[in-house]
Structure 1
Amino acid sequence: MKFPIKAVAASIGLAVLASAASAESVNVTLSGGNPSGLWSLLGAGIDRAVKADDPSGVVTYQATGGGFANIGLLGRERTDLGMAHDAEIKLALAGDEPFDAPIENLQAIGYMYNWAPMHFFIKKSLAEEYGIDSIDDLATSGAAIRVANNNAGNIVANITTFMLEEAGYDEATIESNGGVLVRGGSSQQADLIADGRTDMVINGIFIGHSSFRKVDEGNDVVLLSVPENIIAATNERFGTGTFTIPADSYKNQTEDVVTLALGAMVITSDVLPEETGYMLAKSIASNIDEIRGVHKAMQALTPELLTSQTTLPFHPGAERAYKELGLLK
Structure 2
Amino acid sequence: MKKFARGVAVALGLSVMAGGASAESLNLALSGASPSGLWSLLGAGLDRAVKATDPDSVITYQTTGGGFANIALLSADRTDLGLAHDAELKLALAGEDPFKAPITNVQAIGYMYNWAPMHFFLKKSIADEYGIDSIDDLAKSGAAIRVANNNAGNVVANITTFMLDEAGFDEATIEKNGGVMVRGGSSQQVDLIHDGRTDMVINGIFVGHSSFMSVDRDEDVVLLSVPAEIIEKTNEKFGTGTYTIPGGKYRNQAGDVETVALGALLVASEDLPEETGYELAKSIVEHIDEIRSVHSAMAPLSPELLVSQKTLPFNAGAERAYKELGLLN
Shorter-chain TM-score above 0.5? yes
C-alpha distance in 1, partners of 2:80/2:188?
A: 32
Q: Which residue of structure 2 aligns with residue 188 of structure 1?
A: 188
Q: Which residue of structure 1 aligns with residue 318 of structure 2?
A: 318
1:22-51 Cα deviation digits (max 9, x unpaired)? 421111000000100000000000000000
- Deviation of the 1:128 alpha carbon: 0.4
Q: Which residue of structure 1 aligns with residue 87 of structure 2?
A: 87
C-alpha distance in 2, partners of 1:68/1:224?
A: 28
- Deviation of the 1:19 alpha carbon: 3.8
Q: Which residue of structure 2 aligns with residue 215 of structure 1?
A: 215
- Deviation of the 1:17 alpha carbon: 7.2
C-alpha distance in 1, partners of 2:219/2:89?
A: 35
- Deviation of the 1:15 alpha carbon: 5.2
Q: Which residue of structure 1 aligns with residue 256 of structure 2?
A: 256
C-alpha distance in 2, partners of 1:19/1:179?
A: 70
C-alpha distance in 2, partners of 1:16/1:70?
A: 35
Q: Which residue of structure 2 aligns with residue 206 of structure 1?
A: 206
Q: Which residue of structure 2 aligns with residue 55 of structure 1?
A: 55
Aligned residue type for 1:245: I
C-alpha distance in 2, partners of 1:195/1:15?
A: 64
Distance 1:17 1:235, change over 3 A: farther
SS in 2 for 1:173: helix
Give % identity: 75
2:239 is the counterpart of 1:239 = yes
Aligned residue type for 1:235: N
Structure 1 unmatched runs, 5+: 1-13
Aligned residue type for 1:193: I
C-alpha distance in 1, partners of 2:273/2:18?
A: 17
1:55-86 Cα deviation digits (max 9, x unpaired)? 00010001100000000000100000000000
Distance 1:323 1:194, change over 3 A: same
CA RMSD in angstroms comes to 1.1
Q: Which residue of structure 2 aligns with residue 70 of structure 1?
A: 70
C-alpha distance in 1, partners of 2:270/2:123?
A: 48
1:106-126 Cα deviation digits (max 9, x unpaired)? 100000000000000000000
Aligned residue type for 1:150: N
1:134-164 Cα deviation digits (max 9, x unpaired)? 0000000000000000000000000000000
Aligned residue type for 1:122: L
Distance 1:292 1:138, change over 3 A: same
Q: Which residue of structure 2 aligns with residue 292 of structure 1?
A: 292
- Deviation of the 1:16 alpha carbon: 3.2
- Deviation of the 1:18 alpha carbon: 9.4
SS in 2 for 1:266: strand
C-alpha distance in 2, partners of 1:252/1:19?
A: 64
Aligned residue type for 1:253: Q
- Deviation of the 1:186 alpha carbon: 0.3
> Which ranges of 4 or more aligned residues in structure 1 deviate by more than 2 Å?
14-20
SS in 1 for 2:83: strand
C-alpha distance in 2, partners of 1:191/1:104?
A: 39
SS in 1 for 2:244: strand
Aligned residue type for 1:16: M
C-alpha distance in 2, partners of 1:19/1:166?
A: 61
Distance 1:138 1:321, change over 3 A: same
Higher-helix-fraction structure? 1
Q: Which residue of structure 1 aligns with residue 11 of structure 2?
A: none
1:233-281 Cα deviation digits (max 9, x unpaired)? 0000000000000000000100000001000010001110111100000
Aligned residue type for 2:17: V
Aligned residue type for 1:70: N
C-alpha distance in 1, partners of 2:191/2:233?
A: 31
The residue correspondences of 1:87-106 to structure 2 (distance < 5 A) are: 87-106=87-106
Number of aligned residues: 315
C-alpha distance in 1, partners of 2:272/2:187?
A: 36
- Deviation of the 1:229 alpha carbon: 0.2
Aligned residue type for 2:150: N
C-alpha distance in 1, partners of 2:203/2:56?
A: 39
The residue correspondences of 1:148-159 to structure 2 (distance < 5 A) are: 148-159=148-159
Q: Which residue of structure 1 aligns with residue 12 of structure 2?
A: none
SS in 1 for 2:314: coil
Q: Which residue of structure 2 aligns with residue 16 of structure 1?
A: 17
Structure ID, larger Rg: 1
User: TM-score scaled by structure 2?
Assistant: 0.94
